[in-house]
Amino acid sequence: MRIIDAVTAVLICDGDVYLTHRQPHLTAFPGFQAFPGGKVDKIDADHPLEHPLLAGLDARHITALARELREELAFDLDAALAAGDVVAIDWLGAAISPPIISVRFDTRFFRIELRTRPAFTIELGELSGGEWATPTEWMARYDAGLLLVAPPTRDVLSTLVEQPDCRRVSRLGDYNRFDGTPEIEPLRGVFQLPIPSNTLPPADRTNAFIIGDNGAARLIVDPSPANRAEFDKLCAHLVGRGISEVFLTHHHPDHLQYANDLACHLDVPIAMSADTRMRILKREPSWLDGLTVRLREDGDVVTIWLGQPVRVLAVPGHDEGQLALMPDNRAWCIVGDLIQGVGTVVISAPEGNMAKYFATLEKVIALQPKVIWPSHGSALGGTFYLEQTLKHRRMREAQVKAMTEAGKSIDEMLSLMYPDTDPRLMPLARMNIESHLVKLRTA
């Protein structure tokens, strides 16, 4: 897997640090708050900047940094250096995205201390805004669950809280060292564990989550390791975490493989909807033997997150018994397979219902949770991808309706609607077409 070179600027002025807010439609870190920066391009080798403050720094990276600041914020680093508006530039370290990320970056972090605060002009293609605040204020927002950030951003901010004059952040080298079960915390108190699972391509992991304040119920959601080796890693990882319940969003195998064994190993109950229990027992009657089963339904409070009650939200459509989790302040919503961060949601009989899927998407969009967590892929800031999924499904339904009226068969629809789809995924595309046809016939 190719690792992309990138640069980012930690802009500091009078003790304040500047963070941008990334547009929710971006494919990388959508809706996250981040330091300005981006990829290193080939052209960046051709136009090196020259200044005494840049001595010892890689010219290609500095040129890329200057270009990104110019493109994103209309800030001219070269002019600022010439005018004496830059006090110091230091290389803080580099962070390499871990192997669990589909697109990996080797990002160099540069501390740029400014004498005066520039008047930035935000480039709205990638950014929706930006703001200055002290590292302490930024970390207070993170601790309150109000800041969605990648781990390196958080660690730079927390280091600046402890060491305002820091010129090197040692934690930046740690993100690609996963010997056991991976875990990240982009939002305070929501721990995402992207565990290798037996799921549908192109995804190869299912997110498990750990949520629950100290003193409240501590849930692990959808643990589904691919094999016994990954199960053993997960068990070791959970030692001392105080897990008190295994919670299942729905009954599909890539969300519950080894979940019964984990509940037994931890000696805790397993929670799910009544529909999920029915479908599990229909498929494997002994799967829940010896376990305490808690049935959950819409509105149930299951734990507390940062002082907020976390409630069950019924989200049928992909699966009749699927449950989501959301705190009362709507800071986030773990939506299961309502949306895919990797791949496409399949709606198939008997548990899938396209009409209910449309209605559920509309319901969650109306609730406007600030962060959406799918079961596959990364966190999504805002509901943009839910809205795009609904828009896409409406477009597909219009195609199915038009082709049906034109007398096309399902096979003909498949070849016309999915000409470039991986042949392995065509049976799943067929299921979606069939579900659209059922919805159209019963409307």
pLDDT of residue 424: 86
* Residue at token pair 């990797």: 342
| CA 82 – CA 197 distance, rounded (Å) | 54
Q: What are the strands of the beta sheet with 270-272, ordered from one edge?
A: 184-187, 190-196, 205-211, 219-221, 245-247, 270-272, 293-295
pLDDT of residue 343: 74
Q: For the chain, which ranges sit under pLDDT 70? A: 1, 46-47, 176-178
371-374 and 333-336 beta bridge pairing: parallel
pLDDT of residue 1: 65
Q: At what angle do helices 410-417 and 426-442 cross, to 10 degrees?
A: 120
Domain segments of the chain: what residues? Answer: 3-173, 184-389, 397-442
Q: Strands, E, within 97-237: which ranges? A: 104-114, 127-133, 184-187, 190-196, 205-211, 219-221
- Which among 329, 338, 186, 170 has a CA at the least distance from the CA of 250? 338
Domain 3-173 belongs to what architecture?
Alpha-Beta Complex (3.90)
Q: At what angle do helices 384-405 and 354-367 cross, to 10 degrees?
A: 150
pLDDT of residue 102: 73
Contacts 24+ apart (CB under 8 A), 418-426: 422/201, 424/201, 425/200, 425/201
**Which CATH code for domain 184-389?**
3.60.15.10
Kindly give, in sequence order, each residue whose CB lies less than 8 Å from that of residue 332, ignoring residues fewer than 6 positions away: 145, 187, 190, 326, 369, 370, 371, 372, 373, 379
Task: Give 73's DSSP letter.
Answer: H
Q: How many residues does the chain have?
A: 443
| CA 137 – CA 333 distance, rounded (Å) | 25
Q: From its phi and psi, is residue 362 left (phi > 0), alpha (psi between -120 and 50) or beta?
A: alpha
The amino acid at residue 373 is W
User: Helix H segments across 170-309?
Assistant: 228-237, 259-266, 274-283
**Rounded to a whole number, what is the distance in angstroms from the first to the last CA of the chain?**
46
Q: From its phi and psi, is residue 167 left (phi > 0), alpha (psi between -120 and 50) or beta?
A: alpha
Kindly give, in sequence order, each residue whose CB lies less than 8 Å from that of residue 306, ignoring residues fewer than 6 positions away: 144, 145, 188, 189, 213, 327, 331
pLDDT of residue 178: 66
CB 84 within 8 A of CB 115: yes
pLDDT of residue 216: 98
| CA 62 – CA 48 distance, rounded (Å) | 8
